[in-house]
Structure 1
Amino acid sequence: MTYVKPRPGRIALVSEHASPLAELGGPDAGGQNVYVAQLADRLVRRGHDVTVYTRRDAPEPPTMVRTPQGVKVVHVPAGPPTAVPKDELLRWMPEFGAYLARAWRMTRPDVAHAHFWMSGLAALEGARGTDIPVVQTYHALGTVKKRHQGTADTSPPERVDIESRIGRRADRIIATCADELSELVAMGVPRSRISVVPCGVDTAHFAPVPPAGRAPARPRRLLAVGRLVPRKGFDRAIKALKDIPDAELLIAGGPEAPLLFADPEAERLRKIAFEYGVTDRVRMLGRVPQEGMPHLLSGADLVLSLPRYEPFGIVPIEAMACATPVVATAVGGHLDTVADGVTGRLVSPDGSADRELARIVRSLLDDPARRARYGVAGRTRVLSHYTWDRVADAVAQVYGELSTGPVLSGVAR
């Protein structure tokens, strides 16, 4: 393979429920929105013509919006122009796919990249009868969700079967971690058609923030970040706090702080804190704006990321980018991102291991030199593996390998 000067390509990103324009923190607005927005931005910076197709979920925005970076976001009329939980959107994917087919007949993309399984269904329908290559990134797999949530899984019953069919029909699958790769192979997706490209982090934004002046005396600070849903494991952090003296736990996520008292998961966590006698050491912050996250992460002694399962997990690499060590459950993408004993510690996802979790946290809190080493190593690891520029280059490499015309990636086959 030889390097040649890449040409600008026309790239369609399909993200049916996760708009790059959405405000983060809602029930269906999180890591996928960030991924699509950052990937689109980096591809545009490389000279590509990028259009993101997302479902219209409000009547106000125009059909096409161009971001300040130059990304075109098309609001596809599929279903009602109102917010609908993503698990209820399957019925409108044929309508979404038909819109893509019409749009792509008029302006053919060089590659279509679908994000989430329902987007894959729409993208394959849009590309039907053409030679447009379709790349699929699942972001989360129904097999994993069903395994961990059981009857609490609200996904459509057809999800697992559809995901398997998408995996066999798409030209290439991009997995975000080695754990997902194994899951896809077990689903029957040929290993030869799977590429592993991790998620990324904005290392200019997520960077160490030095304290302003002399820090006042305070308890040692633990921080947990994420949507307020049971699988994120905030309850484990609260329970472990009982055995971690002189430490406070901050939980960032969920609705705005004034609305936390109406949030069912926040209420459940408050009851657990009361039951374990740590109410006075648990602070729920609610939604923290993105601009405030680097300061919050940098000010923590440790970041706890304790989900029961996690497709990739963006919080650990955001913390590492801010040079803050991480204690994370050994699941999903955490197995790739957190170098155990180098940038943080991996712990069992088993809730019965809370005393071991507390012991590990105490040992790190009592060893500031080790925390400092972990922090430096974490920042270095993120800069080496998880910048959005590296992610965009790797994704463009996949596009280039599939392009039937001149290459997109700059690598000739």
Structure 2
Amino acid sequence: MRIAMVSEHASPLAALGGVDAGGQNVHVAALASELARAGHEVAVYTRRDDPAQPVRVEMLPGVQVVHVPAGPPVALPKDELLPFMPDFGRWMGREWATGRAPDVVHSHFWMSGLAAIEATRAVPVPLVHTYHALGSVKRRHQGAADTSPPGRVRLEADLGRRVDLVVATCSDEVSELGRLGVRASRVRVVPCGVDVQHFSPADGAPGRFTPADPLPRRQPHRLLTIGRLVERKGVATVVEALAALPTAELVVAGGPAAERLDDDPEARRLRALAERLGVADRVRLLGAVAHAAMPTLIRSADVVVATPWYEPFGIVPLEAAACGRPLVGSAVGGLLDTVRDGVTGLLVHPRDPAALAAALGPLLADPARRRQYGAAARRRAVELYGWDQVAARTEAAYETVALLAVKEATA
């Protein structure tokens, strides 16, 4: 099968850690790689943001990354890319019309979906779409701080009704889509995945934090949060909870490089909060941590904590689970699927430091329960969230729309 993936701002080649680089980059890269290993040809279309970029780059055998000339060839925030999506789509349509058209198109993020709609006007191809995040949810939680282009919610709703199939990443998203008028019969849930070989309970993974060079502990227990330093990730909630957890330290991984943390507004806000609460000596902000180093860092924690205000899916719970660590997180979005409350970790209300401390305190005091949760989390990660499982379910979704297209063409 020839598969075209459209990921307008999230190139699988992009280094992680930038403002707009993260989970979607990982998802597209891993899914494309796994589909290629299954024998498919995959082309990932992303926007050219550097004039030196070649049009095509082989990421690995079976996967090409195609840099589409749409808008100026410079890096731009994703919220500024909407005006360039018609050109993006028309460029793909011309390429497919003059060469080999794909058997199926899979767009990632709402603006990619708009570009894919434009392309498939010229060359009708079955279209599958994954939102990765919904503007309606973002607007609900961020209000005036939402920087999305005007009309995003309306455009997303229209997109969901026009594509052949929506692949949602969690069950909560199906309900959100229903509020937008997208029927559940047009939605299939396929979660994001995790590399269960890289993220594993085994010691000795390469990287900065290794048994020979550990991150020294300062307290009996370690909590770890991972993610971009933005307010909605809820790191402040963990800092506030720390005041009621005197035996615990908090390690925060993510954001800019360590030497640039002093210039980061959220890092400064978190440090000021820790000072005000009297826990500054128990909070360490590491800044960006290399992907290779992350498994060892996760294994150094007693509990991984993820308390976002909202979360379309959330990769960190899967990475923690694959490393055999329990997770305490917010009962929102994808965490409602990935964390089995009382089995692999615990779920609490978001933005509630008292509830978070009440969940963490007994768990930190019970190493046997932590081990039990961690072992169950690892088993579940391998059984449900390995990329081989995710790719197989995605492939089944492609086959469904491709078969439907054949039936309609021969009817």
Q: What TM bracket, shorter-length normalisation?
A: over 0.9
Question: Runs ≥4 in structure 1, deviation > 6 angstroms?
Answer: 213-217
2:64 counterpart of 1:63: no
2:34 counterpart of 1:42: yes
Deviates more, 1:54-63 or 1:293-302: 54-63
Distance in 1 (CA, whole Å) between partners of 2:135 and 2:362 is: 37
Distance in 2 (CA, whole Å) between partners of 1:151 and 1:218 is: 40
Question: Which residue number in structure 1 is paired with residue 346 of structure 2?
Answer: 345
1:124 to 86, 102, 117: 117
1:93 to 76, 85, 100: 85
1:267-346 aligned at under 5 Å gives the runs 267-346=268-347
Task: Give, as a single letter, the amino acid of the residue that structure 2 aligns with 1:186.
Answer: R
Following TM superposition, by how much is the alpha carbon of 1:130 offset from its aligned partner in structure 2, in angstroms? 3.4
Following TM superposition, by how much is the alpha carbon of 1:218 offset from its aligned partner in structure 2, in angstroms? 4.3
Following TM superposition, by how much is the alpha carbon of 1:150 offset from its aligned partner in structure 2, in angstroms? 0.4
Distance in 1 (CA, whole Å) between partners of 2:68 and 2:404 is: 28
Distance in 2 (CA, whole Å) between partners of 1:251 and 1:218 is: 14
Distance in 2 (CA, whole Å) between partners of 1:403 and 1:213 is: 52
3-state SS of 1:131 partner: coil
3-state SS of 1:67 partner: strand
1:242-253 aligned at under 5 Å gives the runs 242-253=243-254
Question: Which residue number in structure 1 is paired with residue 394 of structure 2?
Answer: 395
Following TM superposition, by how much is the alpha carbon of 1:60 offset from its aligned partner in structure 2, in angstroms? 1.7
3-state SS of 2:71 partner: coil
Question: Which residue number in structure 1 is paired with residue 187 of structure 2?
Answer: 194
3-state SS of 1:128 partner: helix
3-state SS of 2:223 partner: strand
The Cα offsets for residues 295-322 of structure 1, whole Å up to 9 and x where unpaired, read as 0001100000000000001101100100
2:18 counterpart of 1:30: no
> How many residues are paired up?
397
Distance in 1 (CA, whole Å) between partners of 2:267 and 2:163 is: 40
Distance in 1 (CA, whole Å) between partners of 2:95 and 2:355 is: 55
Distance in 2 (CA, whole Å) between partners of 1:330 and 1:250 is: 22
Question: Which residue number in structure 2 is paired with residue 164 of structure 1?
Answer: 157
Following TM superposition, by how much is the alpha carbon of 1:129 offset from its aligned partner in structure 2, in angstroms? 4.4
Distance in 1 (CA, whole Å) between partners of 2:19 and 2:271 is: 20
Distance in 1 (CA, whole Å) between partners of 2:25 and 2:259 is: 25
The Cα offsets for residues 338-363 of structure 1, whole Å up to 9 and x where unpaired, read as 000000000101x2x31221121111
The Cα offsets for residues 70-127 of structure 1, whole Å up to 9 and x where unpaired, read as 3100000001111100001001001101101101112210000000000000001000
3-state SS of 1:245 partner: coil
3-state SS of 2:251 partner: strand
Task: Give, as a single letter, the amino acid of the residue that structure 2 aligns with 1:384.
Answer: E
Following TM superposition, by how much is the alpha carbon of 1:152 offset from its aligned partner in structure 2, in angstroms? 0.4
The Cα offsets for residues 2-46 of structure 1, whole Å up to 9 and x where unpaired, read as xxxxxxx11000000000000111110011000000010011101
Following TM superposition, by how much is the alpha carbon of 1:380 offset from its aligned partner in structure 2, in angstroms? 0.4
3-state SS of 1:324 partner: coil
Question: Which residue number in structure 1 is paired with residue 380 of structure 2?
Answer: 381
What is the Cα-based RMSD across aligned positions, in Å? 1.6
3-state SS of 2:60 partner: coil
Task: Give, as a single letter, the amino acid of the residue that structure 2 aligns with 1:362.
Answer: G
Distance in 1 (CA, whole Å) between partners of 2:41 and 2:190 is: 21
1:180 to 173, 194, 204: 173
Question: Which residue number in structure 2 is paired with residue 6 of structure 1?
Answer: none
Check the 8 A contact 2:40/2:62 in 1, yes or no.
no
1:196-211 aligned at under 5 Å gives the runs 196-210=189-203
Return 5+ residue gaps in structure 2 as ranges: 205-210, 407-411
Question: Which residue number in structure 1 is paired with residue 208 of structure 2?
Answer: none
2:146 counterpart of 1:153: yes
Question: CA distance change for structure 1 residues 262 and 288 in 2, over 3 Å: closer, same or farther?
Answer: same
Question: Which residue number in structure 2 is paired with residue 226 of structure 1?
Answer: 227
Check the 8 A contact 2:307/2:329 in 1, yes or no.
yes
Question: Which residue number in structure 2 is paired with residue 136 of structure 1?
Answer: 129
Task: Give, as a single letter, the amino acid of the residue that structure 2 aligns with 1:189.
Answer: V
- Greater RCO, 1 or 2 (C-alpha within 8 Å, sep 6+): 1
Question: Which residue number in structure 2 is paired with residue 410 of structure 1?
Answer: none
How much identity, in percent, do the aligned residues show? 57
Return 5+ residue gaps in structure 1 as ranges: 1-8, 408-413
2:358 counterpart of 1:368: no
Distance in 1 (CA, whole Å) between partners of 2:61 and 2:238 is: 39
Question: CA distance change for structure 1 residues 376 and 151 in 2, over 3 Å: closer, same or farther?
Answer: same
Question: Which residue number in structure 2 is paired with residue 358 of structure 1?
Answer: 357
Following TM superposition, by how much is the alpha carbon of 1:190 offset from its aligned partner in structure 2, in angstroms? 1.6
Following TM superposition, by how much is the alpha carbon of 1:185 offset from its aligned partner in structure 2, in angstroms? 1.2
Following TM superposition, by how much is the alpha carbon of 1:186 offset from its aligned partner in structure 2, in angstroms? 1.3
Distance in 2 (CA, whole Å) between partners of 1:357 and 1:55 is: 41
